[in-house]
A and B are shown apart, each in its own frame.
Chain A
Amino acid sequence: MSKELKPKRRDFLFTATYTIGAVGLAAAIWPLIDQMNPDSSVKALSTTEVDVSNMEIGKTITVLWRGKPIFIRRRTKEEIAEAASVDLKDLKDPEKDSDRAKNPEWLVMVGVCTHLGCVPLGNKGEYNAWFCPCHGSHYDTSGRIRKGPAPTNLEIPKYEFVDNNTIKIG
Chain B
Amino acid sequence: MSEKYIPKSKFAQWFDSRLPLLSLSHHLKEYPTPKNLNYWWTFGGILTFCLITQIVTGVILGMHYVAHTDHAFESIEHIMRDVNYGWLMRYVHANGASMFFLAVYIHIFRGLFYGSYKAPREVIWIIGVIIYLLMMATAFMGYVLPWGQMSFWGATVITNLFSAIPLVGESITTWLWGGYSVDNPTLTRFYALHYLLPFLIFGLIILHIWALHVPGNNNPTGIDVKKNTNETMPFHPYMVMKDITALLVFIIIFFWFVFFAPNALGHPDNYIEANPLVTPTHIVPEWYLLPFYAILRAIPSKLGGVIFMFAAIFVLVLLPWLDTSKVRSSVFRPIYRKFFWVLVGTVILLGYLGAKPPEGIYLVLSRIATAYYFIHFLVLLPLLGRYEKTDPLPISISDPVLNKPGFVDKFKKAAAQYEGDNVGSFK
Whether chains A and B associate is yes
- Cross-chain contact A39 with B86 (CB below 8 angstroms): yes
B88: interface (CB < 8 Å): yes
Could you tell me the dominant secondary structure of chain A's interface residues? helix
Chain B residues, Cβ within 8 Å of A42: 82
Distance (whole angstroms) from the CB of B383 to the closest CB of chain A: 50
Q: Kindly supply a per-residue 1/0 record for chain A positions 42-58, scoring 1 wherever the CB is within 8 Å of any chain B CB and 0 otherwise.
A: 10000000000000000
- Which residues on A sit within 8 Å (CB–CB) of B88? 31
Query: Which residue of A has the minimal Cβ distance to B56?
Result: A32
Q: Is the CB of A41 within 8 A of B60?
A: no
Confirm or deny: B213 has a beta carbon within 8 angstroms of a beta carbon on chain A: no
Residues of A within 8 A of B82 (CB): 39-42
B6 within 8 A of A: no
Q: Kindly provide the distance from the CB of A140 to the nearest chain B CB, expressed in whole angstroms.
A: 40
Q: With the chains together, A42 CA to B84 CA distance in Å?
A: 11
Is B60 touching A35 in the complex (CB atoms < 8 A)? yes
Chain B neighbourhood of A37, CB < 8 A: 84
B interface bracket (residues with beta carbon within 8 Å of A)? 10 to 19
CA distance A36 to B89 in the complex (A): 12
Does the CB pair B78–A34 fall under 8 Å? no
A32–B86 alpha-carbon span in the complex (Å)? 9
Contact B89 A39 (CB under 8 A): no
When chains A and B are docked, how far (Å) is the Cα of A67 from the Cα of B55?
31
CA distance in complex: A32, B93 (Å) = 13
Within 8 A of B (CB), among A33-85: 34-37, 39-42
Residues of A within 8 A of B60 (CB): 32, 35
Q: Is B63 part of the contact surface with A, judged by Cβ < 8 Å?
A: yes
A114 to B82, CA, bound (A): 30
Interface check B1, CB cutoff 8 A: no
Q: How far is the CB of A127 from chain B (nearest CB, A)?
A: 42
Q: Tell me the bound Cα distance from A41 to B84 in angstroms.
A: 10
A35 touches B83 (CB 8 A): yes
Is the CB of B39 closer than 8 A to any CB of chain A? no
Q: Is the CB of A35 within 8 A of B84?
A: yes
Instruction: Please tell me if B387 contacts chain A, counting CB pairs below 8 Å.
Output: no
Does residue B85 face the partner (Cβ distance < 8 Å to A)? yes
Report yes or no: B86 in contact with A35, Cβ–Cβ below 8 A: yes
Q: 1/0 contact trace for B48-66 toward A, CB 8 Å?
A: 0000000010001001100
Residues in B93-124 with C-beta less than 8 Å from chain A: none
Chain A residues whose C-beta falls within 8 Å of the C-beta of B85 in the assembled complex: 31, 34-35
Residues in A neighbouring B64, C-beta threshold 8 A: 35, 39
Using a CB-CB cutoff of 8 Å, which residues 159-180 of chain B contact chain A?
A: none
The residue from B56, B63, B78 contacting A41, defined by CB atoms under 8 A apart: B78
Q: Please, which residues of chain A bring their CB within 8 A of the CB of B84?
A: 31, 34-35, 37, 39-40
Contact between chains at A36 and B63 (CB < 8 Å) = yes
- Taking a contact as CB atoms under 8 Å apart, the answer to whether A31 and B63 are in contact is no
Contacts of A36 in B (CB 8 A): 63
Cα-based distance from A36 to B82 in the complex (angstroms): 12
Cα distance A146–B186 in the bound complex, in angstroms: 55
Decide: A35 and B56 in contact? CB cutoff 8 A. Answer: no
- Give A37's nearest chain B residue, CB to CB: B84
- Flag if B83 contacts A31 (CB, 8 Å): no
A42 to B89, CA, bound (A): 19
Residues of B close to A41: CB separation below 8 A: 78, 81-82
Interface string of B168-206 (1 = CB under 8 A from A): 000000000000000000000000000000000000000
Q: Enumerate the 8 nearest inter-chain pairs by beta-carbon distance, A residue then B residue, closest first.
A: A31-B85, A41-B82, A39-B82, A34-B84, A39-B83, A40-B82, A35-B84, A35-B85
Interface residues of B (CB under 8 A from A): 56, 60, 63-64, 78, 81-86, 88-89
29 CB-based A-B contacts, threshold 8 Å = A31-B84, A31-B85, A31-B88, A31-B89, A32-B56, A32-B60, A32-B89, A34-B84, A34-B85, A35-B63, A35-B64, A35-B83, A35-B84, A35-B85, A35-B86, A36-B63, A37-B84, A39-B64, A39-B78, A39-B82, A39-B83, A39-B84, A39-B86, A40-B81, A40-B82, A40-B84, A41-B81, A41-B82, A42-B82
Beyond the given A31-B88, A35-B89, please list 6 additional residue pairs across the A-B interface where CB-CB is below 8 A.
Answer: A31-B84, A32-B60, A35-B64, A35-B85, A39-B83, A40-B81
